[in-house]
Amino acid sequence: MTMNLQRYLMAALVAALAFGAAVWWHGQRVQGAINEAVEADRKQWQEQAAEKLAAAEKRAVDAETRAGVALLETRYAEMERERLRLADLDRLRSRNDGLQRTLEALRRGGGQAGQAAGGAGLSDAAPALATALSECSGEYAEVAAVADQVTGQLLTLQDYVREVLPKVLEDAPGE
């Protein structure tokens, strides 16, 4: 009977070892499947996070670009208004210079230039010319003050455009 018992114990030991090995192998397979599933989920979450981050960055760049373009458009409109003011200033300078030349010609001619043209002499034309020259000089001074004020804004704008435009173009999507 000892022999049977030894065989039985040996068979039980082999069966226990086989069962233990099967359980261990099954545990390894299950752990591998769990690790693969976790890794797949991690990759999926990373891809989704990267997509969301890229979309957020694109929205931020788009918003910055729109804001930059809006600012540039505003500044361009200001520059256009300044250009028109400067054109008005040039027109007023020309008018002022013309009035001064006419007044000087009347002074030099002693009123004869005005009388030869069929008009009144220097004494009659002087008050009208002085009034016109005064008005023109007043407008000229006002426009010059505005031009001086806007010159600083224009220089600031030019500095801003030189600084921001390369950054906006560098960060623009699709480049």
d(CA 166, CA 79): 20
Q: Is residue 14 part of a domain?
A: yes
Q: What percent of the chain has pLDDT over 70?
A: 82
Q: Which of 168, 145, 152, 174 is nearest to 72 (CA)?
A: 168
Q: Is residue 45 part of a domain?
A: yes
Q: Is residue 56 part of a domain?
A: yes
Please indicate, yes or no, whether the overall pTM of this predicted structure exceeds 0.85.
Answer: no
Per-position DSSP letters for 45-114, written without gaps between them: HHHHHHHHHHHHHHHHHHHHHHHHHHHHHHHHHHHHHHHHHHHHHHHHHHHHHHHHHHHHHHHHHTTHHH
Q: Is residue 174 part of a domain?
A: no
Q: Is residue 171 part of a domain?
A: no
CA separation (Å) from 173 to 60, 62, 71, 73, 169? 11, 8, 19, 20, 9
Overall number of domains in the chain? 1
pLDDT, tens digit, 9 for 90 and up, residues 58-81: 998 888 888 888 888 888 888 888
Q: What is the pLDDT along the chain (175 residues), one digit of tens a residue?
A: 577 888 888 999 999 999 999 999 999 999 999 999 999 999 999 999 999 999 999 998 888 888 888 888 888 888 888 888 888 878 877 887 887 787 777 767 655 544 554 455 556 666 776 777 677 777 777 777 777 777 777 778 778 777 777 777 776 665 4
Q: Is residue 121 part of a domain?
A: no
d(CA 28, CA 155): 72
Q: Is residue 100 part of a domain?
A: no
- pLDDT score at 142: 77
d(CA 41, CA 162): 47
Q: What percent of the chain has pLDDT over 90?
A: 25
User: Which residues form the domain of 52?
Assistant: 1-61
Q: Is residue 3 part of a domain?
A: yes
